[in-house]
């Protein structure tokens, strides 16, 4: 069994491994949707990613085994994607692209909010 924690909602579950001590990614995703892998805190205090097998369908145990707490890893929106969405949805003063008719200019600018 592997102890897996979701840091977003603090949910912790014990998830079974197979006979070869490998953890199925599909089983992990059933318990934690959106998960793309696991990380754990190494002895140096840094997060370390758990490695995949050749098929990319199972996670390999760390050298010292599954005897620690693992945290799910989900992808996040990159800064570039965020800026692209911001340009589409929240134009700011000086932005020269025409606004779609379905969007209105926000009632205040970011400078006014600060």
User: How many domains does the chain divide into?
Assistant: 2
Q: Indicate the pLDDT class of residue 98, thresholds 50, 70 and 90.
A: low
Q: Are residues 69 and 83 in the same domain?
A: no
Q: At residue 99, does pLDDT exceed 90?
A: no
> Which range marks the domain in which residue 84 is found?
79-113
Q: Are residues 62 and 9 in the same domain?
A: yes
CA distance 60 to 92: 47
Segment 20-72, tens digit of pLDDT: 999 999 999 999 998 999 999 988 989 999 999 999 999 999 999 999 999 99
| Mean pLDDT across the chain | 79
Quote the distance between the C-alpha of residue 16 and its chain's center. Answer: 22
| Residue linked to tokens 């070869």 | 20
Q: Are residues 52 and 91 in the same domain?
A: no
Segment 43-53, tens digit of pLDDT: 898 999 999 99
Q: Maximum Cα–Cα distance for the chain, whole Å?
A: 61
Tokens encoding 52: 């995949």
Q: Are residues 97 and 68 in the same domain?
A: no
Q: Are residues 45 and 91 in the same domain?
A: no
Q: Are residues 66 and 14 in the same domain?
A: yes
Q: Are residues 65 and 105 in the same domain?
A: no
The closest alpha carbon to 23, from 2, 7, 47, 5, belongs to: 2
pTM recorded for the entire structure? 0.65
Quote the distance between the C-alpha of residue 111 and its chain's center. Answer: 30
pLDDT reported for residue 114: 47
pLDDT reported for residue 105: 52
Q: Are residues 96 and 50 in the same domain?
A: no
Q: Are residues 49 and 102 in the same domain?
A: no
The closest alpha carbon to 72, from 100, 47, 37, belongs to: 37
Q: Are residues 68 and 89 in the same domain?
A: no
pLDDT reported for residue 76: 72
Tokens encoding 72: 């799910």
Contact 68, 82 (CB under 8 A): no
Q: Are residues 86 and 108 in the same domain?
A: yes
Q: Are residues 60 and 86 in the same domain?
A: no
């Amino acid at each position: 069994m592997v102890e897996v924690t979701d840091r977003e909602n603090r949910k912790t579950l014990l998830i079974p491994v197979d006979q070869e001590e490998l953890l199925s990614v599909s089983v992990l995703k059933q318990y934690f949707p959106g998960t793309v892998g696991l990380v754990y805190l190494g002895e140096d205090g840094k997060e370390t990613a758990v490695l995949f097998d050749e098929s990319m369908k199972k996670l390999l145990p760390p050298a010292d085994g599954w005897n620690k707490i693992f945290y799910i890893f989900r992808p996040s929106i990159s800064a570039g994607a965020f800026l692209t969405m911001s340009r589409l949805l929240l134009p700011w003063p000086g932005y020269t692209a025409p606004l779609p008719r379905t969007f209105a200019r926000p009632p205040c600018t970011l400078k006014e909010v600060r």
